[in-house]
Structure 1
């Protein structure tokens, strides 16, 4: 059985491989954060400013799938199912969407690797190997990216979203097994630092103190624009079904960036961008939290669209398509779903890594799930890295205690400085589907 061992971190310290190029990442704990990506390659081609039939159909299907709600799978719940000594045919299908070198360095036993940028084509041509009759759990780097994949799988497999929604509301058996992301991805499954890019684990010590602003009226967006921007041109690829059209658009969007890591924006990079004195290069920032939480505090300049409504063209047309888009939520999970949906619609969207919790940890605005990001809450479940795997029962694993030694060294992602926050409400309302 696998226990927490400090040699994991010693191995990483000796690793000199280039970042992202191999399973063992650079041992630089304070890398320069990447800039906010301003590439507009996610936009579809064409010149028409009038929504076409295809775009309307695509947005309508996305709207139906988003209405099904958001779920993640916690690592201990997944481990309980995997290690219950019953038939593996009842286990969920584990899809690992990390890069092959990271997958080879260590993955959940039984996981199948399809890198995120390859997933749309695999779903299109039927080579994904994902069984239609099993639930899917996506193991990714941080969980944010895994929810991008889970949205695509649900779009591909849920032929009748209306029937799925009726079953959810009635709490009856679902017609289609659901796909979910592993909450916080591999950072919650294992404490090995070489499984995710160095410097990208959450550390609440580095997030506090970044400027937020409060809406003038509770429940409303203070910065909602009055302009309605023209929609992107109709999709013209020769594919027959709306699902195929969505997957082709997803493929184009995911491959508009050099690597899947470029789909995430570091909070520190966003803050630097917003404060560089050049408003012309600022991205369009979209909060996908509830209106009540938005009113308590949000990133300056944000507009607010609930994540389940970002594909509604009446809402998405409030977003300027000529500017890069950064979406954020509570912990980065629903933000990534929204980012994927906006990317399919043609917007050059990126997700804010760890959501509002990566921006500011004030108790008045932080998600109730903030504690789940604490490094002291991480598990150390088995990994398959080519050697023998001891699939012990869940009862053999002690509750997570995390890594005391490395907690203070993982602050590079976040904007670490002294800033006085503007006034915000002291108590946040109950969560409304935080993610």
Structure 2
């Protein structure tokens, strides 16, 4: 009797179980949700034009309106610093190997101006970590070009005023390190092996390396006689920028030149120089060629074809330069 009563109840449980089991087969049991793998965030591509322009503007703006710091160091100041604090500096001699071998500043490393600087950019950045890099050439002009490019690449750099100079460089017999009769050595210093230092901008590094790898025979400079002849025959092919102080420009300048004083004014006028010089070559000149060299290189990496006038406009006590030869036209 009891069995009969229980049978219907047991049947009900069996049927219910089958139904539940059937539902479980058609709908998989829920599982604890897992977070999808995080998407790899790719850094936005660097805007090379913006990066280079920003670095160039910063370079000139950081001088301040009085332009007390023109990224150069006087010969005596460098000698005093190397005597007192040699560990705070690294000297990079960018002259040719034969000139370096004849005599250079003690501890200076020879990386000749041109493609060798591009090849050694990472090494230069590494050896200059926490130090000031000093660049020395023959007269200061190619050192100026190197100086400005290394600075925008994040390497604290100054160029040696008037370069190594000396009797081997006409017009610099009493100028520069050698002209001041400061000591030199002939023993070479090899490039040290030190840990790499991260670059602040791949775009700027590539632009700097391109500048040196594609170095023309004239080293982005134009000689005085060539400029004189060009202004007679094809003046319309050049856009001349005088980066001297306004008062010196007013006293006399090359015919057709526009005055954009070295410093923040160049930063403000980057685009106007670019627009006004379309289809032309910019020629920049200063007093002796050094600050023009700095300007020259930075305009080039910004996309403005530029050369600096070799030895500049000239100045009192300097036997080179445009104004030193009375046959070269000077206007007011």
Asked if TM exceeds 0.5, the reply is yes
Query: Using the alignment, how far apart are the partners of 2:252 and 2:322 within structure 1?
Result: 21
Q: Of 205, 209, 217, which residue of structure 2 is paired with 1:247?
A: 205
Name the structure 2 match of 1:182: 160
Structure 1 moving runs of 4+ over 6 Å: 411-415
Name the structure 2 match of 1:339: 296
Deviations 1:316-349 (A, max 9, x none): 3244242222101122221111101111112221
Deviations 1:386-424 (A, max 9, x none): xxxxxxxxxxxxxxxxxxxxxxxxx799874546855x5
Task: Name which structure has the greater RCO, CA cutoff 8 Å, separation 6+.
Answer: 1
Name the structure 2 match of 1:433: none
Q: Of 38, 63, 67, which residue of structure 1 is paired with 2:61?
A: 67
Query: Using the alignment, how far apart are the partners of 2:281 and 2:77 within structure 1?
Result: 37
Name the structure 1 match of 2:120: 122
Query: Using the alignment, how far apart are the partners of 1:145 and 1:254 within structure 2?
Result: 11
The answer on 1:272 being equivalent to 2:229 is: yes
Query: Using the alignment, how far apart are the partners of 2:199 and 2:162 within structure 1?
Result: 33
Q: Of 50, 59, 76, which residue of structure 2 is paired with 1:56?
A: 50
SS of 1:356 mapped into structure 2? coil
Distance 1:292 1:414, change over 3 A: closer
Q: Of 294, 298, 302, which residue of structure 1 is paired with 2:257?
A: 302
TM-score, normalising length from structure 2?
Answer: 0.66
Q: Of 347, 350, 365, which residue of structure 1 is paired with 2:307?
A: 350
Structure 2 gaps, min length 5? 1-45, 64-69, 175-197
Query: Using the alignment, how far apart are the partners of 2:158 and 2:226 within structure 1?
Result: 28
The answer on 1:262 being equivalent to 2:240 is: no
The answer (yes or no) to whether the contact 1:294–1:304 under 8 Å persists in 2 is yes
The answer (yes or no) to whether the contact 2:93–2:112 under 8 Å persists in 1 is yes
Correspondence 1:403-418 to 2 at 5 A? 416=325, 418=327
Distance 1:130 1:185, change over 3 A: same
Say how many residue pairs are matched. 255
Higher share of residues assigned helix: 2
Deviations 1:185-231 (A, max 9, x none): 011xxx241xx5xx56489xxxxxxxxxxxxxxxxxxxxxxxxxxxx
Query: Using the alignment, how far apart are the partners of 1:420 and 1:116 within structure 2?
Result: 32
Structure 1 gaps, min length 5? 1-51, 159-177, 204-239, 358-365, 375-410, 425-435
CA shift at 1:111, angstroms?
A: 0.5
CA shift at 1:71, angstroms?
A: 3.1
RMSD: 3.1
SS of 1:98 mapped into structure 2? coil
